[in-house]
Amino acid sequence: MRPPYITDQYLNKFVQTALAEDVGEGDHTTQAVIDKGKQASARLLIKEAGILAGVELATEIFSRYDSSLKIDVHCTDGSAVATGYIAFTVEGPARSILTTERLVLNCMQRMSGIASLTRKLASLIEGTKASILDTRKTTPNFRLLEKWAVLIGGGKNHRLGLYDMVMLKDNHVDMAGGVEQAINQAKVYLRARNLDLKIEIEVRNLSELQQVLECGGVDMVMLDNMNVTEMKEAVRMIGGRCLTEASGGITEQTIRAVAECGVDFISVGALTHSAKSLDMSLKVYS
């Protein structure tokens, strides 16, 4: 199921610009060697284990390029797949299948890699209150699809961009003149523009956290690069007055210990900037 930000308008624009980039004035190879009326069938073959993502997008790409293509889905988004699985078959004009093949594969391999890593990390913190969050460390012009993949993998989306919340990072705090100044200026800005946006602030140590708690008025605190002892103390100090996000250098080896500190969220930039694409191919069989 598509999240609200994956609108028909967005999909139309994405497919059009992606195909324009790849096809340009025409798929000369396909047009040169494949008869216009030739029909074909192809299978999406999975070549390694993981979590499948991008099936719904693939059906949109095929149908928006050529509405006569017929897709039979065998594995839906979020399915655990293994080598040899057939995710779907597509039938119709051979030229259309070949022209859209690479766009479909590029999207699905990337999205499935992100979903697979997200599911793996989420499984490592099962039983705790923490949820996995994504970040803005995404591929330009592919962000919304990467964030969709995080949802498919069992994570949660943080902000979609700079426009949907106020996040006071360390550079903002330093250039504003300190924690209190940054928070107060953010509040003034939001009131002046009648904006109902949440405020999150990053803290680097317990001293900065104490300043945040004394100032008040924030919805979430990011505990950046703290060790487990500091994080536990930070959660105790906050005492549920706002949400907590752990961030910075968190790995598969450390994520469980971080979750057990009692934080609400763990943000992992690697979900989108370091996920390995899942291997798959589209193979014609008739």
Residue pLDDT, tens place only, 68-114: 999 999 999 999 999 999 999 999 999 999 999 999 999 999 999 99
Answer whether residue 55 is part of any domain: yes
Residues 103 and 135 in one domain: no
Out of 2, 102, 198, 256, the active site residue is 102
Residues 181 and 263 in one domain: yes
Answer whether residue 262 is part of any domain: yes
Residues 127 and 231 in one domain: yes
Task: Identify each DSSP E strand in the chain by its residue range.
Answer: 39-46, 50-51, 70-73, 80-81, 86-93, 131-133, 166-168, 199-203, 220-224, 243-247, 265-267, 280-284
Instruction: For strands 131-133 and 80-81, give the pairing.
Output: unpaired
Residues 156 and 255 in one domain: yes
Cα–Cα distance, 206 to 183 (Å, whole number): 17
Out of 136, 137, 143, 204, the active site residue is 137
Residues 246 and 217 in one domain: yes
What is the model's pTM? Answer: 0.96
SS3 state of residue 131:
strand
137 catalytic, yes or no?
A: yes
21 catalytic, yes or no?
A: no
Token digits of residue 27: 């798929």
Kindly report the CATH number assigned to the domain that includes residue 226: 3.20.20.70
Out of 70, 169, 236, 283, the active site residue is 169
Answer whether residue 3 is part of any domain: no
Out of 60, 77, 146, 202, the active site residue is 202
Residues 95 and 130 in one domain: no
Answer whether residue 138 is part of any domain: yes
Residues 173 and 196 in one domain: yes
Answer whether residue 2 is part of any domain: no
Residue pLDDT, tens place only, 228-268: 999 999 999 999 999 999 999 899 999 999 999 999 999 99
Residues 135 and 267 in one domain: yes
Average pLDDT of the chain is 97
Domain count of the chain?
2
**Residue 1, pLDDT score:** 81
Answer whether residue 1 is part of any domain: no
202 catalytic, yes or no?
A: yes
Residues 102 and 172 in one domain: no
Residue-range definition of the domain harbouring residue 177: 123-273
Kindly report the CATH number assigned to the domain that includes residue 72: 3.90.1170.20
Residues 63 and 177 in one domain: no
Is the pLDDT at 286 greater than 70, yes or no?
A: no
Residue pLDDT, tens place only, 138-177: 999 999 999 999 999 999 999 999 999 999 999 999 999 9
